[in-house]
Amino acid sequence: MAETLHPRVLVVGGGPGGYVAAIRAGQLGLDTVLVEAGRLGGTCLTRGCIPSKALIHAADKFADMTQGSALGIAIDQPPRLDFARTVGWKDGIVDRLSNGVAGLLGRAKVRVVAGWARFSDAKSCTVETASGAVAITAEHVILAAGSEAAALPALPFGGDVISSTEALSLPELPARLVVVGAGYIGLELGIAFRKLGAAVTIVEAADRILPRYDVALTRPVRRWLARAGIELHLGATVTGRDGDNRLAVETTAGPLVLAFDKILVTIGRRPLVAGWGLEEMALDMAGPFVKVDDRCHTAMRDVWAIGDLVGEPMLAHKAMAQGAMVAEIIAGQRRHFDPGGVAAIVFSEPEIVVAGLLPDEAAVAGIDAATAIFPFAANGRALTLEAGADGGFVRVVARRDDQRIIGIQAVGRHVAELAGEFAHALAMGAVLDDLAHTIHVHPTLGEAAGEAALLGLGHAIHL
């Protein structure tokens, strides 16, 4: 064995869950080793959140130039897309952020071991590194192995069948893209590729897009898909190939064949539980996920698990929050994790923000709640951003008895940046009065949140 290490804390996986856990543990003075087989930053930074948002931004810029506008701005020559350069620009951002994570880990005095960890028991693993095997036995183990794209049995990944990872690094723009799965990843990428000029078809087995969200919230996105010429097949399942570059789909109206250059399969992600010795660790499972309590502790003493490995929502900020929390618990602090505080954004066209309970979810939970909706059509800033006419709104869900806000959602262009205010209101246990009487800066989209709360109180000003 080239080397043997005995740190206080071993973190496996350098995604947002793992690297944040390691940085926080290092800040708290815990001797910490982080093992990562790929690049620091994990799925989110190298092939998920960041590269997808870079591509979406580039697609927005390109679409703005190609579509002309009512603003009196015209471009005489049609703009040209150098897709390889777009991907190169995106890669530059990834490089910069991944190197930044390495710097932060170094500052926190975390030792990074590059290679794949394989456990022989719950506290011991071996990592094959470029310079030989490293054996690590730790007092505390934080598992942050993340997740991988789920494949369709009839359409395994490879060649022209790609996951989001390959979609974010294509050498050229596919002329015809079929997206299988209208969850947030499929929609975000499908919309971006459409804006870049690809002909996009979306196939979804459920009877609506973003099946976890209600129809009111997704209606503006449905409208945009139709306007943009994206072919959408709901209640449709892929049965397999029908010759080269032809995909067989079963729809409620009968069989269908779709021509494609690439098929992007985005039917969900599953936790990465194979290939690193989970079976040697005697942990309990919750379905496909590692089972943890509200402190992210597993069934094995001093073995912790965080992020995509432990369940929904499979989001980077949840992984980060859990990572920091576990490091603080190991350092002796009293913490627990509240999943209700995790907001989510769909970077679609227009964008969707969901924080707390949807009206339907409140009803299912037996909460007597009132809902107030303020449209962006009545918000000046939305109009100046060409964002007022897409049917967008802010919706506040509050308990009838004490007016406590239990959910805030929005759909509309540029609403992503409202997520912080929504999450903050929920985290602080705000009531309608708190949000309504916060003086929102004019002109901003945030005013719509204040107005929705005022509406909940029965006296919106601008409606």
- Report residue 85 CA to chain centroid gap: 25
298 binds ligand FAD (CB under 6 A): no
Asked if 165 and 94 count as a contact pair (C-beta separation under 8 A), the reply is: no
- With CB under 6 A as the contact rule, the residue among 58, 108, 117, 415 that binds ligand FAD is 117
Cis upstream peptide for 288 (omega within 30°): no
- With CB under 6 A as the contact rule, the residue among 11, 33, 36, 419 that binds ligand FAD is 36
For ligand FAD, give the closer residue by CB, 250 or 280.
Answer: 280
Query: How far is Cα 36 from Cα 179, in angstroms, rounded to an integer?
Result: 31
Smallest gap from residue 197 Cβ to ligand FAD (A): 20
**Which of the residues 134 through 163 are near ligand FAD (CB under 6 A)?**
144-147
For ligand FAD, give the closer residue by CB, 102 or 398.
Answer: 102
| Residues in contact with ligand FAD, shown as a per-residue x/- string from 310 to 349 under the rule CB under 6 A | ----xxxx-x------------------------------
164 binds ligand FAD (CB under 6 A): yes
276 binds ligand FAD (CB under 6 A): yes
Smallest gap from residue 34 Cβ to ligand FAD (A): 9
273 binds ligand FAD (CB under 6 A): no
351 binds ligand FAD (CB under 6 A): no
Three-class secondary structure of residue 63 per DSSP: helix
Q: What angle do CA 341, 342, 346 make, to 5 degrees?
A: 145
307 binds ligand FAD (CB under 6 A): yes
For ligand FAD, give the closer residue by CB, 52 or 86.
Answer: 52
Query: How far is Cα 307 from Cα 324, in angstroms, rounded to an integer?
Result: 11
Binding span for ligand FAD by CB under 6 A among 84-92, 99-107, 307-315, 392-400: 307-315
388 binds ligand FAD (CB under 6 A): no
The torsion region of residue 457 among left (phi > 0), alpha (psi -120 to 50) and beta comes to alpha
Pairing of the two strands 262-265 and 254-259: unpaired
Binding span for ligand FAD by CB under 6 A among 8-16, 61-69, 190-198, 368-376: 8-16
- With CB under 6 A as the contact rule, the residue among 23, 25, 35, 161 that binds ligand FAD is 35
37 binds ligand FAD (CB under 6 A): yes
48 binds ligand FAD (CB under 6 A): yes
For ligand FAD, give the closer residue by CB, 303 or 435.
Answer: 303
Beta bridge partners of 135: 4, 126
Binding span for ligand FAD by CB under 6 A among 16-24, 60-68, 249-257, 411-419: 16-24
**Which of the residues 359 through 378 are near ligand FAD (CB under 6 A)?**
none
Asked if 191 and 348 count as a contact pair (C-beta separation under 8 A), the reply is: yes
- With CB under 6 A as the contact rule, the residue among 155, 196, 272, 431 that binds ligand FAD is 272
Helix (H) or strand (E) holding 194: helix 184-196
Smallest gap from residue 238 Cβ to ligand FAD (A): 20
**Which of the residues 51 through 70 are near ligand FAD (CB under 6 A)?**
52
Would you tell me how many other CB atoms lie within 10 Å of the CB of residue 167? 25
Amino acid in position 282 = A
- CA neighbor of 209 nearest in space, from 337, 312, 94, 349: 349
For ligand FAD, give the closer residue by CB, 308 or 421.
Answer: 308
For ligand FAD, give the closer residue by CB, 225 or 306.
Answer: 306
What's the N-to-C CA distance of the chain in angstroms? 71
For ligand FAD, give the closer residue by CB, 17 or 350.
Answer: 17
| Long-range contact set of residues 54-59: C-beta below 8 Å, sequence gap at least 24 | 54/89, 54/90, 54/93, 55/86, 55/90, 55/168, 55/189, 55/192, 56/188, 56/191, 56/192, 56/347, 58/86, 58/89, 58/90, 58/192, 58/196, 59/191, 59/192, 59/193, 59/195, 59/196
For ligand FAD, give the closer residue by CB, 42 or 359.
Answer: 42
- CA neighbor of 346 nearest in space, from 169, 244, 210: 210
Query: How far is Cα 232 from Cα 229, in angstroms, rounded to an integer?
Result: 9
Residue 317 is a catalytic residue: no
17 binds ligand FAD (CB under 6 A): yes
Catalytic residue among 414, 442, 459, 462: 442
Backbone angles phi, psi at 391, to 5 degrees: 85, 15
Smallest gap from residue 44 Cβ to ligand FAD (A): 3
290 binds ligand FAD (CB under 6 A): no
- With CB under 6 A as the contact rule, the residue among 34, 56, 97, 185 that binds ligand FAD is 185
Smallest gap from residue 191 Cβ to ligand FAD (A): 13
Both tokens of residue 120? Answer: 């022989």
Both tokens of residue 337? Answer: 């994790």
Query: How far is Cα 353 from Cα 253, in angstroms, rounded to an integer?
Result: 33
For ligand FAD, give the closer residue by CB, 267 or 432.
Answer: 267
The torsion region of residue 58 among left (phi > 0), alpha (psi -120 to 50) and beta comes to alpha
Among all residues, which ones are annotated catalytic?
442
Judged by the rule CB under 6 A, the positions of this chain that interact with ligand FAD are 12-18, 35-38, 42-44, 48-49, 52, 116-117, 144-147, 164, 185, 272, 276, 307-309, 314-317, 319
